[in-house]
Amino acid sequence: MKPGGDHGAFMSALFCAVTLLNALHAAHGGQGAEPVKPAQTGTAQVLVVYYSRTGNTEQMARGVAEGVKRVPGVAVTVKKISEVSKEDLQAADGIVLGCPTYFANIPGEMKTALDDWNWKLKVDFTDKVGGAFATAGGQVGGQEHVVVSLLLFMLHNRMIVAGPLYRNEKTGSVWAESGAAAITGPLDVGVGEAELDGARRLGERVATLTKKLRARVISE
Ligand SMILES: Cc1cc2nc3c(=O)[nH]c(=O)nc-3n(C[C@H](O)[C@H](O)[C@H](O)COP(=O)(O)O)c2cc1C
């Protein structure tokens, strides 16, 4: 083989090696790598994240998880806001957030964590499916405002949001709700069965949409 030919073969091999190294670097999160995306195959993942000091919101979170389990092929994980990692958030295809109402608003600890998910952890929430729930002591205590605030966080982080559906068996009509909520007292004490039903329907809806969206992404 001519000297020039050897040189050409060497340069070609070198180019291939550099290209391969760059690809490996990107795959392991090197500079300029794409944000980690949930796996494009297998089970859809829904993450339920809540803040709760006296247990009411935690009960609703368990209800949401029961609803997710109604949908075959969707796995659910329930975590306190203080326990959630960047990896948990990025691996989730759907995220359901819940917290109590404090002074008709999101508790500061919850809000700080949400800000940090974007600001400090730089989680990419694009096209994840989201839903929200809240608890409040009063009948008009600000729980709907909390639900909407949680949904706004999701919308502003490029998520697709949904609420539970309710089917009226007598008329056949289907209603949509903004999220799930429970009044916890003193007028209506604790998390009731009808409120847990709302939490379950929320989990079921988010799981159904997560599964549909994921199936579409995989088929593309
Ligand atoms: C600091 C603080 C502020 C609260 N503010 C409100 C409020 O504005 N409206 C309301 O209905 N309930 C309010 N509550 C009641 C809680 O929202 C309610 O007890 C809730 O279910 C507690 O949830 P947890 O058991 O998950 O901690 C407040 C409770 C606390 C501790």
Q: Ligand 1, from 103, 143, 150: best to mutate by most atoms within 8 Å of Cβ?
A: 103
Residue 39, domain member (yes or no): no
| Per-residue model confidence as pLDDT tens for the chain (220 residues) | 344 445 555 445 544 444 444 443 333 333 333 333 445 557 999 999 999 999 999 999 999 999 999 999 999 999 999 999 999 999 999 999 999 999 999 999 999 999 999 999 999 999 999 999 999 999 999 999 999 999 999 999 999 999 999 999 999 999 999 999 999 998 888 999 999 999 999 999 999 999 999 887 767 6
Q: Ligand 1, from 78, 101, 135: best to mutate by most atoms within 8 Å of Cβ?
A: 101
Same domain, 28 and 48: no
44-50 and 94-100: which strand pairing?
parallel
Instruction: Count the helix, strand and coil residues of the chain and give each as a percent rounded to the nearest 5.
Output: 45, 20, 35
Residue 158, domain member (yes or no): yes
Which CATH number characterizes residue 136's domain? 3.40.50.360
Q: What is the pLDDT of residue 34?
A: 38
Interior angle at CA 173, CA 69 and CA 161, nearest 5? 50
Q: Which residues span the domain enclosing 78? A: 44-219
Residue 31 CB–ligand 1 contact under 6 Å: no
Residue 167, domain member (yes or no): yes
Same domain, 109 and 207: yes
Same domain, 62 and 28: no
Same domain, 192 and 109: yes
The rounded Å distance from CA 127 to ligand 1 centre is 31
Residues 6 or more apart whose CB falls under 8 angstroms from that of 110 comprise 51, 81, 99
Same domain, 90 and 141: yes
The rounded Å distance from CA 60 to ligand 1 centre is 14
Q: Indicate yes or no: pTM above 0.75.
A: yes
